[in-house]
Amino acid sequence: MSETGVRAAGLAVSLRGVTKIYDNGVTALGPFDLDVVRGEFVSLLGPSGCGKSTALRLIAGLAAPSSGTLNVSRRAARAGHAIGFVFQEPTLMPWTSVRENVRLPLKLAQAPAGEADARVSEALAQVGLAEFADAYPRELSGGMKMRVSLARALVTDPDILLMDEPFAALDEITRFRLNNDLLALWRNLHKTVIFVTHSVFESVYLSQRVIVMTSRPGRISAEFRIDTPEPRVEDFRMSAGYAGYCREVSRALAPSYSGLSGA
């Protein structure tokens, strides 16, 4: 499928038989097939080193696949960037303010200053950090740094948001809050989200679809559709349905860990 074909089919991302083999001969991924519908929230779940981050980096264009085809739908003729990426670390520039960190993608795209100002303010408001625009990253807590990172990914108004274990390093309460905020953003902004995590609970809580991966090489071993009335709120975490999904997904994930003694 070409890029326009992908777009016509209502897909945001389409991978067919994609593999990634590193220079040292290790097959990190694949063959890997994945279709993500526009506006969908999909989680890639698997043990560390199962290639889920590799898949994300391929979709982002940060690395090239060794074989297979990869198509990412792009809206034509618009400023900014089609993809926003949130790393596991906040990955902020420590030498400048929150505002300048969020402005970076626009600055690199040489967007007009006035327009950039408005979009930076909007993105900061979306993540609830409008008052901290002039703070420096070191003055913020871990959760707030992650919000800055999220605002920076949103500032270009991307179609697709790629998130690589973004909340893994946060404490649980902060993580739950950011989970809820992310769901609210996803509902309001209609982004396609591909979310990499190794937490069963997080993947089930957030996603419409959970894709369980095996390691070495990374392949899809199971897929679950999480059907629950929208909008999801904190109550969903307490529900029997949620616990049921978590049990099923955990069971599917177990074989992926069996080969990894001590991992």
Partner 1 sequence: MSSTQNVFRLLLPVVVLAVGIAIWEFVVRVNDIQSYVLPGPLAVFQTLVSDWPVLSQSLGVTLLTTLEGFVAAAAGGVALALLFNQSKWLEYSLFPYAVILQVTPVIAIAPLLLIYLQQQTAVIVCAWIVAFFPVLSNTTLGLNSVDRNLAGLFQLYGASRLQTLRYLKLPAALPFILGGLRIAGGLSLIGAVVAEIAAGTAGAGSGLAFRIAESGYRLNIPRMFAALLLLSLAGIVIYGVLALISHLVLRRWHESALGKEN
Instruction: Catalog residues that contact partner 1 under the rule CB under 8 A.
Output: 57, 60-62, 81, 83, 85, 87, 89, 91, 93-96, 104-105, 107-109, 136-138, 156
Distance CA 192, CA 213 (A): 20
The nearest distance, CB 87 to partner 1, in angstroms, is: 5
The nearest distance, CB 64 to partner 1, in angstroms, is: 12
156 vs 179 by CB, closer to partner 1:
156
The nearest distance, CB 26 to partner 1, in angstroms, is: 19
191 vs 219 by CB, closer to partner 1:
191
11-21 β-sheet, strand order: 27-37, 11-21, 67-72
57 vs 119 by CB, closer to partner 1:
57
The nearest distance, CB 206 to partner 1, in angstroms, is: 22
The nearest distance, CB 173 to partner 1, in angstroms, is: 24
60 vs 189 by CB, closer to partner 1:
60
Token pair of 151 as six digits: 């605002």
106 vs 226 by CB, closer to partner 1:
106
The nearest distance, CB 137 to partner 1, in angstroms, is: 8
Distance CA 143, CA 173 (A): 10
88 vs 180 by CB, closer to partner 1:
88
